[in-house]
Each structure stands twice: as structure tokens, then as C-alpha cells.
Amino acid sequence: QYWGEVMEYAYTYMYGYDLETAESDLTTGLSIASLVYCLIRLALAVLLFIILYYKFYKKGRFIKIDMKYVLILIAWEIVLFIVPVIPFMEAFDNTGREKAMGVLIAFFILFVGIVVPVILTILVARRYMAEKNIQQEKYMNAQLEYIRQYKDSQTATRAFRHDIINNLQLMDIMMKDGKNEEAREHLETLLGSIKALSPKNITGDEMLDSIVSMKTARMEELGIKYSSDGVLDGGLNMKPMDICSIFANAFDNAIEACTRLPKSAPKSIDLNIRRTDKFYHLKLENTSINETDTTTLFDEASHYTSKDDENIHGFGTKNMKHALEKYGGMLKADAGKGKFILTIIIPRTAET
């Protein structure tokens, strides 16, 4: 109904008719104006349905709106319903009607010129804050995982120290009794316990270790095989937040690609760390169901994402690129034969 009224007012303003004449031309008969009017209303209704269904209902995106905003929306709709009628009140003659229309158009232009930029600024600011919140959440999760693993390792170490004297004394008794084979087996058991106390994921950078540990736990849940090779000597010398932004997103993308494979398909993620005189080369390789368009992967304008919700996702690769640029680093992507390879190149003097 609202769209119909808007078109009636627009038709009235354009041709100088009164409301009754405009309504009669648009809603009765088989004139071109009435056909265009009906087609536009139908197209707008279909478009509105498609947007609401596919962008909100189908994706389960429902937002609870506070009552004050509901009241503001109702007041706004009332204003939009009443204000356009003012120029057609009986109190105005033709000259007054034209002046009233001019005032309304002037206020509309002023409104668009002020309010639209403000709305766009608010939307951009909210999107920026959403990106920052996601990065902060990943960083905090990585730190919490590191703390949890540290506490677990300390508990296991204290328990091992508590029992080591008893175990050594037992081995001493076995050897004195000539039970060398039993002593050897007991020693192997102790060595296995010592190895179990050692960190499982060692990259040479504490923050990266935390991220890898956090992501490998997720990989185990999803049945994804993980392997790594190489160590960073002295760490990356980068801010922890930037390390998290780069590698948490890289692992998330790799895990996401693996989850898209059929359940029976082998899934793997491999981290390879190499160095040259001036650079670290960290290559993250994962199995993939299809070939990614690597030419648009890091394109600012493309807003590439393989995930369903494009409004939430699609900023990971952009954040990775921006974080690396602070240190003179770069990203390189290759895809083919069921594999996706992301190479992260970082100067060894990256500290800033």
C-alpha cells in the first residue's frame, strides 16, 4: 500500500494532477500508466519478498528490536503517510500547492543529503567494530587455550616429579636383583611419560603455538589430519594480535575447506616452515573440494568468501593482508588437484 501511495504522489507531482485524478488514472482502466503502475507494484512486492526470505528468514537471521525503536518506526511511517498529503489540502490554491510541493522537495533533498551519509557512516563503523570484535575474540580464545595448556602441563609435571623418585628407586631395585629387562621396559615407560609432557605443537613462536593448539583441537573433532614441519628461530617478532589475525584466519579457512569435502574423503592440513636469509616462508596446505579463484582471493573489491553468510564473513583474507603489510610481508595462494596452498612470507626482521 505504501509503495502505491508513493507512486501516486510522484505521478501527481510530475503531471500536476490532483490526488483523485492521479488515483483514477493509475488504478482504473487499461492505460499505459495504470499498467506500469501495476507492474511496478508487483515487482517491488516480489523484490521485497525475495530479500526478506533469502537474506533473513532462510538464514535464520532474526533481530529483537527494542520497543523504543518500534515506536520510532511507527512515528516515521505516520509522518511519511501524512506529509505528502499536505500540498493537496483544501487550504491551498494552485500557487500555494506549488509552494508547498517545493518546500517538501527542499526538505527531502536536505534530509537525503544529511541523513544518508550519517546512516552510511554508522553502518561502516559498525562493520569495522564487528571485524575488530571477531579479531579480539580469536585472540582471547588463543590466549585462553595457551593458559589452559600451561596449567595442564604444570599439573602433569608436578605429578611426574612426585613419582619420579619412587620410579627410579624401583628401577634401582630391579637392576640389583638382575631384572635388567624389566628395568629397561620400565625406563621406556618413563621416557614415554616424559615425551607426553613435551608440547605437541612447537613452532618457535608462543602465540602461533597457542593458535595451532587451539585449531588442532578443532581438527581432531572433525577428523582432519594435521602435521607440521620446521621451527621459527626466535619467533616472528610480530604483535600477538597481528599473528592471531593472520594465522587464526588462515587455519579457519583451511578447516572450512576440509569440512566441505565428503565425509569419506581424506582431510588434511599441513604447516611447513622454512627460512631464507631474509624471510620466513610458512606454507599452509589443505585438501579442498574445488579450485579457488586465487586471482580474486585477496582483491579488496571482490569481498571473496566461501561461506554462506557474506555479510558476516569475507573479511578474513583482507585482515590477513592488512596485518602482513605492516611488516612488509605478503600472501601467495595456489590451488589445484584437490589442494589449496597458502604461502605466508614474512621478513625475518619484521618487528615494528
pLDDT digits (tens, 9 = 90+) for 119-155: 888 877 777 777 777 767 776 776 666 667 666 766 7
pTM: 0.54
- pLDDT tens sequence across 235-288: 888 888 888 889 988 999 999 999 999 988 999 999 999 998 889 999 999 999
Arithmetic mean of pLDDT, 317-334: 88
pLDDT digits (tens, 9 = 90+) for 214-238: 888 889 999 999 999 999 888 888 8
Domains located in the chain, CATH noted: 2-132 (no CATH), 200-352 (3.30.565.10)
**Rounded CA gap, 321 and 330, in Å?**
7
What's the CA gap between 266 and 262, in Å, rounded?
9
Which amino acid makes up residue 231?
V
Given this model, what pLDDT does residue 163 score? Answer: 75
What are the pLDDT digits (tens) for 74-122?
887 777 777 766 766 667 776 776 677 777 777 777 777 787 788 888 8
226-229: long-range pairs with CB below 8 Å, 24+? 226/268, 226/269, 226/270, 226/271, 227/268, 227/269, 227/270, 227/271, 228/201, 228/203, 228/270, 228/271, 228/272, 228/273, 229/270, 229/271, 229/272, 229/273
pLDDT value for 313: 39
Report the distance separating Cα 211 and Cα 202, nearest Å: 11
55 close to 61: Cβ distance less than 8 angstroms: yes
- pLDDT one-digit tens code per residue, 9-62: 666 666 666 666 666 666 666 667 667 767 777 787 788 788 877 777 777 666
Band (312; pLDDT cuts 50, 70, 90): very low
| Residue-level pLDDT at 169 | 79
Cβ 192 vs Cβ 234: under 8 Å: no
Task: Please say if the pLDDT value at position 310 is more than 50.
Answer: no
